[in-house]
Amino acid sequence: MAASQSRFGRGFFINISHLVTKFSHPPDRAWMGAQDYFTDLTIPPRFKGTDIEELVGILRQQIMWHQAGGPMDKEQYVEVKRTLNRLLIALDREMGILDPDIGRYHE
């Protein structure tokens, strides 16, 4: 039996890439609906107990607990982007890249 179609993406890399895209928008556009990308996000077994699982947990907390339109939008936005960058670095390291770098224009 085929799984039902996901509205916001199902998987791991798919959902993380959607979040990266979402948070490439300005803070006033990034927050709306960001929580939805965690609905069908699945951490692969190979990442259980790793920095990747921990960073996804931090990211989930940062996004799920955020109240859009609040005075902390910009500050929390910067923290989410920083966590996403840390997650991308951790993923590259897990895949065997010895010296991943997010690039100075994406910090």
pTM, to two decimals: 0.89
Which neighbouring-strand residues pair with 41? 11
What confidence category does residue 36 fall into, taking pLDDT thresholds of 50, 70 and 90? Answer: very high
User: What pLDDT digit, counting tens, does each position of 59-93 carry?
Assistant: 999 998 887 667 778 889 999 999 999 999 999 99
pLDDT at 1: 46
SS3 assignment for the chain: CCCCCCCCCCECHHHHHHHHHHCCCCHHHHCCCHHHHHCCECCCHHHCCCHHHHHHHHHHHHHHCCCCCCCCHHHHHHHHHHHHHHHHHHHHHHCCCCCCCCCHHHC
Contacts of 8 (CB under 8 A, 6+ apart): 15, 18, 33, 36, 37, 39, 40
Distance CA 62, CA 51 (A): 16
